[in-house]
Chains A and B, each alone.
Chain A
């Protein structure tokens, strides 16, 4: 008896389903918020360690409660709305960013069968929802009625739309190989994929370049360093968040990090086997799938932080050049290569 069926057994068909789904949503959203708080702490610690600093170490043991202290501080602050701002849209923008960052998690499979909405078009849903994220940034930039946020919004819009194109083609080559848009099916298609014992499309020499392109595009899509031109503090103060304060600022902050974790999760799901252990060997399956999944997310988050701490920021024309002149042709050629290879081997010439 599944979770939903248990609720339906005493709550009735419709009401039980409603209750079960609400509880499941909370079971994803609340740990996600906790994870965001801890991952911000981890980000600051990793960054500090690479710069030979200590990082947050005052609030709680090892500074573990720093993010919660920051959250409390932000909640007690006054929400300042600039008098020239477009009031409604100004307040709507962080809500959009935060909501979109949360709804994407509905289709992420955390383990075998552990997914809120196991839909056929899961990957397209992800692409659709993540393409909505840009609205929070654009609207905030315009509604602030201030020049730096506006420049930032223009940069963000162009950047996200550009890199979504190559991300789309990377996803197509994965979908071609997995033969499905469903994320759980994509994970299962990677079982014993290479040499009969390595789990993950990333181990496949034909798909590995796409894994690299996806990782870099994910950095650009979430506007993380070295592509954080939307909040380049030396040029744009704080970018689109300049005029925001208190909770409206915190919603941007939380949404941004939730998106970063999502991109790490997507890297794990699409190329490195999701909840499967890296090697198809029976004793490794004794470890619950969700632990493998979280371990992979953390590894990718470490890579993201590592890049943030070491790589200098791109210039905007270089960013556009990388997206349109290198990644787009490369991923397009790769779709061609992958589909050609599959036509020869799987479907017969």
Chain B
């Protein structure tokens, strides 16, 4: 009973906050609703017993990705009139994407009800006494090792790509050389001289 209640609660909040993400007028509110949706999706993950995925969802999406989202959106100079002016221009593409998504949803539901994928035939059933992390680790690092490594490579390429795209070399600034500063001693920088009166200082 309590599971059903918790599922309904989390699912309803996910759908509601998802809807509010696209309906709210202020982009910052949109991102905050999105964060609430992520958070409740993590709750759903806990309900199906995937606590590791739930924690990763919160750490990665809520704790890092959404922070950067918020970071960028907060700094936008929001002009609400301009936001609404693009409605007709983007309306067509929006409709197209909505249609594609709806089609995919219908196909997925159809396939599910047709029973195309037999859950009993899963390639790697998890034994109940293993904890989430152990079960995933045992699979990822044995059976799916190469796929996992490939995913890592894709991420690495994306990382390098992001750095290359945003990096610009500036020659007009002088960066701080920390080790040079630390190595500097008083005798390198300070001089004690007995200056005769009436003569300029030799610099």
On A, residues with C-beta under 8 Å from B are: 14, 89, 119-121, 124-125, 127-129, 131-132, 134-135, 138-139, 142, 150, 153-154, 157-158, 161, 164, 181, 317, 321
Contacts and interface: CB of A to CB of B under 8 A. Distances in A.
Contact of A120 (B35, B56, B131): B131
26 contacts: A120-B131, A120-B133, A121-B51, A124-B55, A127-B55, A127-B59, A128-B62, A131-B62, A132-B62, A132-B63, A135-B35, A138-B67, A138-B70, A138-B71, A139-B32, A142-B28, A153-B74, A154-B74, A154-B75, A157-B67, A157-B70, A161-B63, A161-B64, A161-B68, A317-B176, A321-B178
Interface of B: 2, 28, 32, 35, 51-52, 55-56, 58-59, 62-64, 67-68, 70-71, 74-75, 131-133, 176, 178
B67 A120 contact: no
A101 B74 CA distance: 24
A282 to B, nearest CB: 32
Given A14-B2, A128-B55, A134 B67 contact: yes
Question: Chain A interface secondary structure, helix, strand, loop or mixed?
Answer: helix
B74 A142 contact: yes
A342 B73 CA distance: 44
A124 B51 CA distance: 10
A329 B180 CA distance: 21
Nearest to B59: A128
Contact of B52 (A124, A129, A131, A153): A124
Given A14-B2, A135-B35, A161-B68, A124 B56 contact: yes
A89 B32 CA distance: 10
A150 B70 CA distance: 12
B192 to A, nearest CB: 27
Contact of B64 (A131, A153, A154): A131
A125 B45 CA distance: 14
Contacts of A164: 63-64
Contacts of A131: 58-59, 62-64
B166 to A, nearest CB: 14
Contact of A124 (B2, B59, B70, B75): B59
B2 to A, nearest CB: 7
A120 B176 CA distance: 45
A132 B62 CA distance: 7
Contacts of A128: 55, 58-59, 62-63
B59, B68, B131 interface centre (most CB from chain A within 10 Å): B59
A320 to B, nearest CB: 12
Listed from nearest, the 10 A-B pairs whose CB atoms lie closest are A131-B63, A124-B55, A128-B58, A120-B131, A128-B59, A142-B74, A121-B55, A128-B55, A121-B51, A157-B71
Contacts of A142: 28, 70, 74
B52 A121 contact: yes
A125 B59 CA distance: 9
Contacts of B131: 120
Nearest to A158: B71
A137 to B, nearest CB: 10
Contacts of B176: 317
